[in-house]
Chain A
Amino acid sequence: MTSDETRIAYTLRLADNALVLAQRMVEMVAAEPELEEELANANFALDYIGQARMLYTHAGQLEGKGRSEDDFAFVRDEHEFRNLLLLEQPNGHFGDALVRQFLFETWYLHLLDGLIACSERGLSEIAARAIKEVKYHSRHSSQWLVRLGDGTELSHERVQASLDDAWRYTGEMFAADEIDVAFQREFDGPDLAAIHKLWRRDVEKTVAEATLRLPDDDWMLSGGKQGRHSEHLGFLLAEMQYLQRSFPGATW
């Protein structure tokens, strides 16, 4: 793998994470339990769409084959997407979606912090922009975890189940494969083992504050980063890509 191939692949993973998560969040628009959450969710989803756009554009420029942000988002197939499995899982109920945000954003915040310091200039600049938004998102998801965990007996039980369910998808965030290793070596990229420790520390702290129990690290699912997805991604893409697939090149 050349160093250009490494940074393109690495950038596309970040972009796919942002886009797939944004699409899941967009599915919740007009279905939030209260107006305040409606606004928070829609605005946060916009941040992720914005990040995805910058990342795809950057990947397209590095690649130099004239692929646009829309080409990456709308005409690639399922196996070409490299997002984490956690992010493509259906929203479930409010607590499920919230736990997904919490686990991902706690990780993403440390990853972005590492990317700011990397030597790939485009990614470093995008990360510096994005971290300001994700800090804010992460505060929101942590606060909600505490509110639900330390809420009523019912909310506690349900959000504990959400946490137990989502846990098996977290291993993939820290499993460094050849792209992660090459990006770290060649571009001074983030160290996933170090991030795992920071993530664990932050998650433990909030989970304890929420009076919840940390699930055991047993069997972890993986494959999203390599393009092997759960059955849910295909449906998500079918809906998201419908228009561009039916009317290629349509604009308005």
Chain B
Amino acid sequence: MATIVLDETGVPRRQGSAWQAQMGPRTERIVLGTAFIVAVLVAWQVVTALGIEPPIILPSPSDVVGAFRELFSSSDIWADFAASGEELLYGFALAAAVGIAAGLLIGWYPRLGYFFDPFINLLYAIPRVALGPLLVVWLGIGLSSKVALVFLIAVFPVLVNTSSGIRSLDPHLLRVARCFGASDLKIFRTIALPGSVPFILGGLRLAVGQSLIGVFVAELLGAQFGIGAMVENAGEQFQTDTVFAGLLIFAVAGLLLTAIVRWLERRFDAWRV
């Protein structure tokens, strides 16, 4: 029978068995999470070893490792990284700058909010990857259309989060500041800006993942270099193991970038107990 114990945060937690109770919740989380990944890999290897599907449909994990080795033996992969990295960096940086600035303004001035919110919500609601072909028509298949697509995809989560961060500032703090005769500019600098940092970072974290989608889709629409283009080429030539390798690169890039933003969030979160 399961018993209820209190963990160190004082929250009741069901105690499954003795070995589980010996681990902290953090270790438990890591062990369980890793266990599932390992299980999937093993199942995958077993299925492929049984030869149910030919490698051209479902390559084994070791095929994918081989594909990695091959990819990194050529210098083309670095050109792919450079191209995708450039698109991601420019698009994301632009989205962060515009999204934060516009979000602050729209959140701070209610009238701007009334004016822009419906339009922003409309754009936020449509699947923005669908704008890709349009952007190619307008901007060609060079860097600019790719940056534009990444920007359009990533800017909205930043903007919407930032403005809602400003709107959800503690009204009591604003009252305290007014009570001391603070000007709007001072209130903005000392309360609105630091108060909305967690929201801004949350928006950036969402935007990172979305930017990667943008990079991938933009490269599908036509590109010489880039991880997305590499995956697309490999797919056309039925190099399925290379396709898997490319997907893994995207996954790792997403995890890494999200981890960086999470780390920033935790630093700024220290005070929000």
- The yes or no verdict on A and B being binding partners is no
